[in-house]
Structure 1
Amino acid sequence: MDSISGAERLSSPAAARNREPILAVLREVLPERGRVLEIASGSGEHALHFARHLPSLQWQPSDPSVQALDSITAWRDAEPLTNLLGPIRLDVTERPWPCRDFDALVCINMLHISPWQAAQALLAEAGERLPADGTLYLYGPFQHRDQPLAPSNADFDADLRRRNSQWGIRHLEDVQAEGERHGLVLERIVEMPANNLSVVLRRRNEDA
């Protein structure tokens, strides 16, 4: 780990591997301009990369962990970008959120390492706070009820549940149904490397 002004820049090999495939999808589904709230930003590497390559968007990173917030700040200090905002502490289950003004939501690799209540809170807040046609982008491993998990994901799911009984790879059908309860429509599913998915939900335009 690198140290900048006393703060550690955390580094995730997964973030380095998946940032380009994720960026390709974000270019297609995010608005041209506006403010993007990233949930569970972790190390902050994604926030820096996406802000760098999507300069017309304001990128708001967030995380509930003090260590993660320090890392996000350290990465931001290493490469100051005018469109990369300072991180905020945000726990999705503590509603209402401190950041309530955003045009899109991005949440990468959170749903499977948090209780289902966190997914419910995320979808509820997205349905309440996103503008009409606003995007919620989810990334990570998901499973279909009528399809077996790939062997690597099955092993991963078992390991997650051993570590915490409330964790585990979510059924895409449950996410879709919960989203629909809050006015979010499943728009697109994109297969990603390493048996992950990009899941794009959009807030229903009631006037359409």
Structure 2
Amino acid sequence: MTERPHSPSCDRNREPILEVLQRHFQDRHRVLEIGSGTGQHAVYFAAAMPWLQWQCSDRAENLPGIRMWLDEAQLTNTSLPVELDVATGPWPRAGAGDGHFDAVFSANTLHIMGWPVVEAFFAGLDGMLADDAIVVVYGPFNYGGAYTSDSNRDFDAWLKARDPRSGIRDAEAVNALAAGIALQMVEDVAMPANNRCLVWRRAPTAP
């Protein structure tokens, strides 16, 4: 029998991330998780926030493992995971109302992508977010072009040795991409292990 994929870091960071999500997602309805990875975050967060409809997404090779976690959890507020490569699309639509998601969550993804794919990440969000959507991104970030810790500097070197296109992103550059699709930063939360949760809310469009 194939074992479910497991990420120890998901076990370590899920509680502090949940505190942020519960604060910002308390009035949300439809959440798209981009880069669901193993699926561990999805089942933990969906179980803790049953008022949300949680939609997992990831590249095709990760979907079987995500399905294993979802199948075991048997939650009523999770759907089958959908394939999403943010570099190429197509981007999913929510299954209710106007098809827009009013919340997005993504953990440990932007430093894995090349910068053009990070740009595609925000460009893709533009067409599928509700007017007042909230976006939460978790991971390591640099500030003012500088590492926030020696461990992040070492991690960045490891990332670049594995794939020169990857690397820890500058928070200011990421925030500029968010601002380009009318997302305004509402919180930048310090997290354990020198990570951050960046939280944006989309400004409603004028009538």
What's the TM-score, normalizing by structure 2?
0.92
Structure 1 residues 122-172: Cα deviation after superposition (integer angstroms, max 9, x where no partner):
212223321122111100000001544300000000110111111000000
Aligned twin of 2:174: 175
**Secondary structure, aligned partner of 1:198:** strand
Contact map agreement 2:189 2:198 (CA 8 A) in 1? yes
C-alpha distance in structure 2 between counterparts of 1:44 and 1:84, whole Å: 11
Aligned twin of 2:83: 89
Aligned twin of 2:31: 36
Aligned twin of 2:12: 17
Letter of the 1:86 counterpart: L
Alignment of structure 1 residues 130-169 onto 2, 5 Å: 130-145=129-144, 147-169=146-168
Q: Which sections of structure 2, spanning at least 5 residues, go unmatched?
A: none
CA RMSD in angstroms comes to 1.6
Contact map agreement 1:8 1:70 (CA 8 A) in 2? no
Q: Which sections of structure 1, spanning at least 5 residues, go unmatched?
A: none
Structure 1 residue 31: deviation in Å?
4.5
C-alpha distance in structure 1 between counterparts of 2:78 and 2:131, whole Å: 24
Contact map agreement 2:148 2:194 (CA 8 A) in 1? no
Letter of the 2:81 counterpart: P
Count of aligned positions: 202
Structure 1 residue 8: deviation in Å?
3.5
Structure 1 residue 82: deviation in Å?
0.5
**Secondary structure, aligned partner of 2:156:** helix
Structure 1 residues 78-101: Cα deviation after superposition (integer angstroms, max 9, x where no partner):
120110111111111123413353
**Secondary structure, aligned partner of 1:107:** strand
Alignment of structure 1 residues 67-82 onto 2, 5 Å: 68-82=62-76
Q: Percent identity?
A: 43
Structure 1 residue 207: deviation in Å?
2.9
Contact map agreement 1:126 1:136 (CA 8 A) in 2? no
Contact map agreement 2:138 2:195 (CA 8 A) in 1? yes
Structure 1 residues 27-86: Cα deviation after superposition (integer angstroms, max 9, x where no partner):
0112524110000000000000011000000000011042x2111111111120110111
C-alpha distance in structure 2 between counterparts of 1:191 and 1:57, whole Å: 25
C-alpha distance in structure 2 between counterparts of 1:188 and 1:128, whole Å: 23
Letter of the 2:66 counterpart: I
